[in-house]
Amino acid sequence: MAKKFMYVNRKPPYGTIYALESLEVVLIGAAFDQDVSLAFIGDGVYQLTKGQDTKAIGQKNFSPVYSALGDYEVTKIYIEKESLEERGLTLDDLQHLVWEDEDDDWAEKDSIRLVSRAELADVLDDQDVLLSF
Amino acid sequence: MKIALQINEGPYQHQAADSAIQFTKAALAKGHEIFRVFFYHDGVNNATRLAIPPQDDRNITAEWVALQKEHNLDLVVCIAAAQRRGLIDEDEMNRQGKDANNISEGFRISGLGQLIEAGIEADRLVVFGA
Amino acid sequence: MSLLHTVNKSPFESNTFDACLNLAKSGSTVLLIEDGVYAATTGNSVADKIKNTTDINFCVLGPDAQARGIEGKLAEGIKVVDYEGFVDLVAEHDAVQAWL
């Protein structure tokens, strides 16, 4: 039986390597047919902002990779509502992440699930494996 | 119970590796199985055999190696994270045309799939990091 | 289902402890390790958070508290465990969330 894997992302991109190397695990892990979800909490929400441009800091901009997660069947992306609000952000500031549902005539569906702390606490509590970065 | 560990930080800079070693010893003493220890991020630096800590300090790599020998631990270094940081074994040295290698005995280099597999196969995954 | 949460940062240096409390459900356990143990001292400015969060079990890793010279200053009601106790907590809970 598939286990529930959650990747817990709490760090912003570029300042440290955690966000990038977490994404690398997600992409590899997608091949294992587990029940995968991602959580973005605290500064982790900054990983998903639109308009990232890293040319002038000499690092690779890996933010486009998030929009490919749907193709890897990573379709459950939880964003903590309070974390967005504390940072003066709304969903409009984040990339619009979608996946295509093959059981529903390839209908395009939202991957992002904006959840309250209380809801996210329930989701965390339900996981079998929590990978922290 | 089968327990897997993920180590995200290098030795000395952060306590993560020390905590993981103490945890590993306690878990083994209590009769649990350590399914795998997976070294990721700067945690790959735990595997260098070239570190020379002062004589009155602990030698973290040597402690891992001693545990590995005594308990046949599976110490796995993430290949992508290791290559990025200049940690390579003899095979990688030859494949990449490098003039040296630095991975200690007792560790093996492998892919990120080993971390996912540890999550699947072990009863618990415990992460130590910064 | 219940989770074991580990916190390894001082509450005075980072919001990790708060982030954990925000998402720790009733009946779960929070284990303070490494620099996280500073949250457990009596009379500090976060002590009330632990005191007022009565539905979560707070534990502190004794060797880390001892190393930092605060073993005698731990707040009442916080259980002190050693590494074997840490292992027991891992085994007793369904999964472990490390707040890094």
Asked if residue A1 has pLDDT above 90, the reply is: no
C38–chain A nearest CA distance, Å: 21
CA dihedral over B104, B75, C36, C17, signed as positive or negative: positive
Note the pLDDT of residue C7: 98
> What does the pLDDT average to over C56-81?
96
Predicted model pTM = 0.97
Number of domains in chain A: 1
Q: With bands split at pLDDT 50, 70 and 90, how would you rate the model's confidence at C77? A: confident
Q: With bands split at pLDDT 50, 70 and 90, how would you rate the model's confidence at B38? A: very high
d(CA A43, CA B42): 21
Q: With bands split at pLDDT 50, 70 and 90, how would you rate the model's confidence at C1? A: low
Note the pLDDT of residue A2: 94
Asked if residue C32 has pLDDT above 70, the reply is: yes
Active site residue B26: no
Q: Is B126 on the interface with A (CB under 8 A)?
A: no
Instruction: Please answer yes or no on whether B113 and A25 come within 8 Å at the CB atom.
Output: no
Instruction: Please answer yes or no on whether C84 and B26 come within 8 Å at the CB atom.
Output: yes
Number of domains in chain B: 1
d(CA A63, CA A69): 11
> Could you tell me the two tokens for B78?
């993430």
Contact A3/A37 with Cβ under 8 angstroms? no
Quickly list H helices, chain B.
Answer: 16-29, 60-71, 79-84, 90-96, 113-121
Identified catalytic residue from B37, B44, B65, B78: B78
**Which residues does chain A have within 8 Å of residue B45's beta carbon, measured at their own beta carbons?**
none
**Which residues does chain B have within 8 Å of residue C98's beta carbon, measured at their own beta carbons?**
126-129
d(CA A14, CA A27): 19
Q: What's the CATH code of the domain at B85?
A: 3.40.1260.10
Q: Within a 13 Å sphere around the CA of B30, how many CA atoms are in the beta-carbon half?
A: 21
d(CA A36, CA A105): 22
pLDDT tens for B48-96 read 999 999 999 999 999 999 999 999 999 999 999 999 999 999 999 999 9
Q: Is B50 on the interface with C (CB under 8 A)?
A: no
Q: Which domains does chain C have, with CATH numbers?
A: 3-99 (3.40.1260.10)
B75: domain range?
2-128
Query: Please, which residues bridge with residue B7 across strands?
Result: B39, B128
**Which residues does chain C have within 8 Å of residue A126's beta carbon, measured at their own beta carbons?**
1
Instruction: Please answer yes or no on whether C96 and B130 come within 8 Å at the CB atom.
Output: no
- Burial (0-12, 13-18, 19+ Cβ within 10 Å), B50: exposed
Instruction: Please answer yes or no on whether B116 and A132 come within 8 Å at the CB atom.
Output: no
Q: What's the CATH code of the domain at A88?
A: 3.40.1260.10
CA dihedral over B115, B116, B120, B124, signed as positive or negative: positive
Counted residue by residue, chain A has a size of 133
> What does the pLDDT average to over B29-58?
98
Tell me the average pLDDT of chain B: 98
Instruction: Please answer yes or no on whether C90 and B128 come within 8 Å at the CB atom.
Output: no
SS (H, E, C) chain A: CCCEEEEEECCCCCCCCHHHHHHHHHHHHHHHCCEEEEEECHHHHHHHECCCCCHHHCCCCCHHHHHHHHHHCCCCEEEEHHHHHHCCCCHHHECCCEEEEHHHCCEEEECEEEECHHHHHHHHHCCCEEEEC
A30: domain range?
4-132
Instruction: Count CB-CB contacts under 10 A for residue C13.
Output: 10
pLDDT tens for A43-85 read 999 999 999 999 999 999 999 999 999 999 999 999 999 999 9
Note the pLDDT of residue C64: 98
